[in-house]
Amino acid sequence: METAATQAKPRSNVMPMVIVAILFFVLGFATWLNGSLMPYLTQMLSLTPLQASLILFSFYIAVTFTALPSAWVIRKVGYKNGMALGIGIMMLAGLLYIPAAKTQIFAVFLLAQLVIGTGQTLLQTAVNPYVVRLGPEETAAVRVSIMGILNKGAGVIAPLVFTALVLGSFTAPAGAELTQPQIDTMADRMVLPYLGLAIFLGLLAVAVRYSPLPELISEELAQDAVNEGKSPLKAALAIPSLVFGVVALFVYVAVEVIAGDTIGMYALSLGVERYSVMTSYTMVCMVVGYCLGIALIPRVLSQQTALSISAVLGVVLTLSVVFGNNESYAIANAVLVPFGGVALPDTLMFIALLGLANAIVWPAVWPLALSGLGHLTSIGSALLIMGIAGGAFGPLFWGIFSGTGLGQQGAYIVMLPCYAFILFYALKGHKIKSWK
């Protein structure tokens, strides 16, 4: 019996990682569709930058309301059932985009975004602890980086798929005022792709429900019995390194979403025709960053050092965007045009390069924040997932500042304090274990 168990163990470790990898790809695909959806709806519905930021706000604000309830659901039904339920909610959201497109009512699109954000939150809360636990803590950033490559690789593919299936051969000039027939054509093109997405998510939910994923919750329930009468939330909030980790992820997701999802809007304002694929440029840089993380952590750089470098690079690139020249194409002429790529303004290239600065932040913060939590892992994971709400507020503030004299370019200054806090967490915040 002991021999059989020993032989089965490697299989049980490999299969969970494969399943989790698929889920990270799906999360990335659904999330980074926003980068194409935002400028697409802006052109179709004639939205202002502030109105367009509500597309992201409604998606990410769901985290604020559903992260802690998601932890409760997982503790009741288990991690695997929680994943399947989260995917099922995402499937329902996919179906909501169909009446949104048919009616062309902005509020229905926002409702669909809110629902898919809710499903994403439940799935994220369930799937992230697997990556941290399936191996040594000191190499957790590497495992999260591998999942990040799949997640952001999906972010590279999603805008390309969206452009091919939804935008297709639609040829109206970027930023041009559309006629009603053109608007109807744009809206109708959304129906079949989102129906296909909903069907795929439904099949995936069933597959995950009956997959061989092991449960992680039994250990936590046993600890809960020992600590009966104590509030897990109160205990978790008593750990500064976790609380600061939540704030670090909040500001990180804010800058990640600004870099990944507003680049298309900014490209549209500059008259770039293929604005709907711009998110792919940022995601390619993130994939490169994840690959560097896998190669360098912990062999050459510690998680903390990599996090510090990311924050400093973020500051430099933010200033480059804000004070950059939209008439200069030097970077694209050096790295894109010689290989058949298109010429893009330097400012757009700096925004894309922010993906390189952002890549290591998520995989570095998670293990640092969850270190030593033990039976509080699920509640800690839920609190960290709440940090994704930064994706709601970062673009919102960018949209607000875009309406001032700063314009869309100057509005990227909102990222500076975010990178400053990430630097604080890397240097000091993750070491603080008591409020006293």
Whole-number pLDDT of residue 199: 95
**With pLDDT > 90 as the criterion, what percentage of the chain qualifies?**
36
pLDDT at 311: 96
Q: Residue 404: which residues within 8 A CB-CB, separation 6 or more?
A: 410, 411
How would residue 292 be classed by pLDDT, with cut points 50, 70 and 90? confident
Average pLDDT, the chain: 84
What CATH fold (topology level) applies to the domain 10-210+231-431?
A: Growth Hormone; Chain: A; (1.20.1250)
182 SS3 class: helix
Instruction: Express each pLDDT in 225-240 by its tens digit.
Output: 444 455 778 888 888 9
Pick from 260-269, 276-285, 382-391: least confident = 382-391
Kindly list the distances between the CA atom of residue 378 and the CA atoms of 19, 144, 223, 386, in Å, as whole numbers in the listed order.
19, 17, 12, 12
Task: Using pLDDT thresholds of 50, 70 and 90, give the confidence band for residue 127.
Answer: confident
Report whether pLDDT(431) > 70. Answer: yes
**14 contact partners, CB below 8 Å, separation of at least 6:** none
**Average pLDDT of the residues in 339-363:** 91
Question: Token pair for residue 313?
Answer: 């690079």
Q: What is the pLDDT of residues 74-123, one digit of tens each?
A: 878 888 899 999 999 999 999 999 999 999 999 999 999 999 999 988 99
pLDDT for the residue numbered 32: 84
Q: What is the pLDDT of residue 139?
A: 67
| Predicted TM-score (pTM) of this structure | 0.78
Residue 8 banded pLDDT, cuts 50, 70, 90: very low
**What is the mean predicted confidence (pLDDT) over 272-294?**
86
- Indicate if the pLDDT at residue 317 is higher than 60: yes
Instruction: Give, as one character, the DSSP assignment of residue 431.
Output: G
Helix, strand, or coil (residue 340)? coil
Higher-pLDDT residue of 221, 174 = 174
Question: What's the mean pLDDT in 313-325?
Answer: 96
CB atoms within 10 A of CB 222: 11
- What is the average per-residue pLDDT within 188-214? 89
Q: Which of 142-151, 333-342, 410-419, 420-429 has the lowest mean pLDDT?
A: 142-151
> DSSP assignment, residue 247?
H
Terminal CA-to-CA distance of the chain, rounded, Å? 50
Contact in structure between 138 and 24 (CB atoms under 8 Å): no
Angle (deg, nearest 10), helices 106-133 and 140-162: 150
State the pLDDT at residue 235.
84
**Is residue 159 reached through a cis peptide bond, with omega within 30 degrees of 0 on the bond before it?**
no
pLDDT score of 385: 77
The pLDDT tens digits of the residues spanning 44-62 come to: 888 888 899 999 899 988 8
Q: What pLDDT does 89 receive?
A: 96
